[in-house]
Amino acid sequence: MVASLVGDPARANMLTALMDGRALTASELAHQAGITPQTASSHLSKLEAGGLIEPEKQGRHRYYRLTGPDVAGVLEGLAGLAERAGHTRVRTGPKEPALRRARICYDHLAGDLGVQMLDSMRKQKLVRQTKQAIELTGEGKRFIAEALQIDADMLAHPRRPMCKACLDWSERRHHLAGTLGAAVMNRFTELNWAARDPAPGSRVVNFTRAGEKRFAALFGSSEAHS
Amino acid sequence: MVASLVGDPARANMLTALMDGRALTASELAHQAGITPQTASSHLSKLEAGGLIEPEKQGRHRYYRLTGPDVAGVLEGLAGLAERAGHTRVRTGPKEPALRRARICYDHLAGDLGVQMLDSMRKQKLVRQTKQAIELTGEGKRFIAEALQIDADMLAHPRRPMCKACLDWSERRHHLAGTLGAAVMNRFTELNWAARDPAPGSRVVNFTRAGEKRFAALFGSSEAHS
DNA sequence: TTCATAGTTCGATGATAGCCGAAGCATCGA
DNA sequence: TCGATGCTTCGGCTATCATCGAACTATGAA
């Protein structure tokens, strides 16, 4: 049955990451779901056998995408039912809670804090977001220059957008990706506000006490929250 | 997550059985899924907690139905993705046909004719129904006074509502219960339109030829019927 | 060729959850 | 009041399956 495929948390996370129609590599999907590549490979072949995703081989990468918009539609319908049911039942992912709080997504911040940061940036009108597209406002430019010493003009990249919304698998909401997202995370590390967990292969990001305080000052959630 | 609820084969069978909008008892659903009542009970509470189904208690029975058409829609979408033939629906066992046609439910009319009567009353705007609550309209008051010589004001009772929707086990839809339902059935008997079957223990109600005609004149189903 | 990276397969492990027998309530019929 | 019936709870058994370490294949780069 198809539903049992979607029922597993790890697979659901992968599918959620594919909801926007993009194709992602197997390792990226493993990353997103917080599982090892071996496990992901097993899941992906099941999803493929179930006709939910289809692979596209490209060099040594294997890109996976949803087989069609109808799949996305059903997934969205399921999400809608979950929401209606009062949702709240946050399925524990396969990994630790620290991973849900703050982690690396490729090269930018994800998890609760990542989502909180983008939320705050929207509220402070530092960025404008329409769907997946995010645009830095003039005010935003000034903000990152003053608060983080990041020059927006230096973030241009031939094949990568400066701002991009990335769906967070633990929060099911967007966090900030793109070259700006990477630059911000990089600055956090340089300022000694946060550091990747030393454990090999870990994606956990540990904030220092001082860093957490500064982060809260800039992107704190003291404001009204929906 | 909702998908994991639907993912289990036993639960999927139950949900499939409920797809047409009818309500089924817990034991029927257990039989449908090929599991024991204990197991079914566990599944049903999970489905209820997930907001996919809702119960309606009826005496010692517990009828379950889907919480809404959107649930059915998502299930249909999943079935579409599965591209598999749906499970053959097990027919809910009818006992005697006469029992399905008209019978006594406590003290009021049930079965095909009972459901038909409440349907017609709704269509004629004699009653308003919201969920299980039924209210007699002014027009309805006049109607029962003229057609059946029933005084609505005499139907008040300290511990029993005048109108109540009672789930019909053979039709899986509501018929009219409460003191009004009882009074109507009583009047049918007095007018010699119908009589309980003389066989001991039988709940069958036999309508006379004349009674059937008069009943059809008041609550006939000549109108369109889905 | 040699090394590195992406992805897979295999095997063992462990936790989740479905399942049923037995027993306990609740309601109905007599 | 006393069974009979529908349904639930509890406890233990078992099977399924997600997970990861280790080893293997394939592609690309030096």
- CB-based contacts of A94-100 (< 8 A; 24+ apart in sequence): A94/A9, A94/A10, A94/A33, A94/A34, A94/A35, A94/A39, A95/A34, A95/A35, A96/A204, A98/A197, A98/A204, A98/A206, A99/A34, A99/A170, A99/A203, A99/A204, A100/A170, A100/A171
Cβ <8 Å between A3 and B6: yes
For residue A90, tell me if it sits in a domain: no
B209/B125 same-domain check: yes
Q: Which pLDDT score, from 0 to 100, does residue B59 have?
A: 82
In angstroms, the CA A146 to CA A112 distance is 25
What six digits make up the tokens of B109? Answer: 């009319």
Query: Confidence band (pLDDT; 50, 70, 90) for B125?
Result: very high
For residue B20, tell me if it sits in a domain: yes
By C-alpha distance, which of B169, B163, B20 is closest to B89?
B20
Q: Which pLDDT score, from 0 to 100, does residue A137 have?
A: 95
Cβ <8 Å between B2 and A91: no
A47/A129 same-domain check: no
Q: What is the mean pLDDT of residues B198-217?
A: 81
Give the number of beta-carbon pairs within 8 Å between A and B: 75
Q: Which residues in chain A (56-85) have CB-CB distances under 8 A to chain B?
A: 70-71, 73-74, 77-78, 80-82, 84-85
A16/A42 same-domain check: yes
Q: What is the mean pLDDT of residues B103-107?
A: 72
Confidence check: pLDDT of B159 > 70: no
A67/A8 same-domain check: yes
Contacts of B52 in chain A (CB under 8 A): 81, 85
Domain total of chain A: 2
For residue B155, tell me if it sits in a domain: yes
Confidence check: pLDDT of B84 > 90: no
Q: Is the CB of A43 under 7 A from strand D?
A: yes
Please tell me the distance in Å from B119's CA to the nearest CA on chain A: 30
For residue A106, tell me if it sits in a domain: yes
For residue A92, tell me if it sits in a domain: no
B143/B212 same-domain check: yes
Confidence check: pLDDT of B210 > 90: yes
B188/B121 same-domain check: yes
B24/B122 same-domain check: no
Cβ <8 Å between B74 and A70: no
Percentage of residues in chain B having pLDDT higher than 70: 81
Contacts of B12 in chain A (CB under 8 A): 1, 3
Name the residue in chain A with its Cα closest to that of B76: A74
Mean pLDDT value across chain B: 81
Q: Which pLDDT score, from 0 to 100, does residue B52 have?
A: 96
Contacts of A51 in chain B (CB under 8 A): 81, 83
For residue A91, tell me if it sits in a domain: no
B126/B197 same-domain check: yes
Q: Which pLDDT score, from 0 to 100, does residue A89 have?
A: 44
B145/B192 same-domain check: yes
Q: Which helix (H) or strand (E) holds A110?
A: strand A108-110
Query: Confidence band (pLDDT; 50, 70, 90) for B62?
Result: very high
Q: Which pLDDT score, from 0 to 100, does residue B224 have?
A: 39
Q: Is the CB of A59 under 7 A from strand D?
A: yes
Can you give the pTM of this predicted structure?
Answer: 0.66
Per-residue pLDDT of chain A (226 residues; tens, 9 = 90+): 789 999 999 999 999 988 877 788 999 899 889 899 999 999 999 999 999 999 988 778 899 989 887 788 889 889 888 877 765 444 444 456 677 788 887 678 988 899 899 999 999 999 998 755 788 999 999 999 999 999 998 888 766 678 887 767 667 677 888 889 989 999 999 999 999 877 655 678 889 999 999 999 999 865 433 3
User: With contact defined as beta carbons under 8 Å apart, do A87 and A189 qualify?
Assistant: no
A6/A75 same-domain check: yes
Planar angle of CA B94, B99, B105, nearest 5 degrees: 110
Domain of residue A168: give its range.
97-219
A138 touching chain B per CB within 8 A: no
A170/A215 same-domain check: yes
Between the CA of A2 and the C1' of C26, what is the distance in angstroms?
38
More confident residue, B85 or B172: B172
A113/A58 same-domain check: no
Contacts of A7 in chain B (CB under 8 A): 1, 3-7
Q: Which residues pair with A158 in a beta bridge?
A: none
Give residue-wise pLDDT tens across range A46-92: 999 999 999 988 778 899 989 887 788 889 889 888 877 765 444 44
Instruction: Tell which of A50, A84, A118 closes a domain.
Output: A84
CA B116 remoteness from chain centre: 11
Q: Which pLDDT score, from 0 to 100, does residue A164 have?
A: 80
The set of strand C positions with any atom below 7 Å of a protein CB reads 5-11, 17-23, 26-30
For residue B87, tell me if it sits in a domain: no
SS3 B57: strand
Instruction: Tell which of B24, B57, B82 closes a domain.
Output: B82
In angstroms, the CA B42 to CA B176 distance is 32
For residue B174, tell me if it sits in a domain: yes
Q: Which pLDDT score, from 0 to 100, does residue A225 have?
A: 38
Instruction: Tell which of B82, B115, B143 closes a domain.
Output: B82
Q: Which pLDDT score, from 0 to 100, does residue A223 have?
A: 46
What six digits make up the tokens of A194? Answer: 């946060």
Name the residue in chain A with its Cα closest to that of B4: A7
CATH code of the domain in which B61 resides? 1.10.10.10
Q: Which pLDDT score, from 0 to 100, does residue B89 have?
A: 28
